[in-house]
Amino acid sequence: TSITGKLNCAEFMCLWRKVTMYKDIFFRSDVDRSGMLSLSQLRNSIMATGIRLSDNLLNLIALRYGGSSGNISLESFISLVLRMDRMAKIFRQLNDGGTISLRDNEVMNC
């Protein structure tokens, strides 16, 4: 994105492809067709994106994005995975031997 925060056509198309892919993953994982992902469905969905998480982190994510029920809506799932995708990209750019150090302001901008 530019300094204006607006997406150009290529950036929008890339984002749209990701949103469509994550939507498809969500609906394939929502086997009971409830419109929400349970914890086990969320685990399968996140794994389908290629992201690997510990059970502890998955539980924290379910609490953050699913509230007290722990169930994740389509909108929350897409938001979650886009954010994780962005964080992974930043990690790859900044890592030094598999670890990174971030200042507070860098963490807030992830």
Model confidence at 66: pLDDT above 70: yes
H helices of 50-110, in order, are 55-66, 74-94, 104-108
Residue 35 binned pLDDT confidence (cut-offs 50, 70, 90): very high
Q: Mean pLDDT, to the nearest integer, of 28-35?
A: 96
Q: What confidence tens digit (pLDDT) does each residue in 85-101 have?
A: 888 888 888 777 777 67
Model confidence at 106: pLDDT above 80: no
Model confidence at 44: pLDDT above 60: yes
Model confidence pTM above 0.85: no
- The domains located in the chain, with CATH, are 9-108 (1.10.238.10)
Give the position of tokens 């990701």: 18
Check residue 87 and give its pLDDT: 83
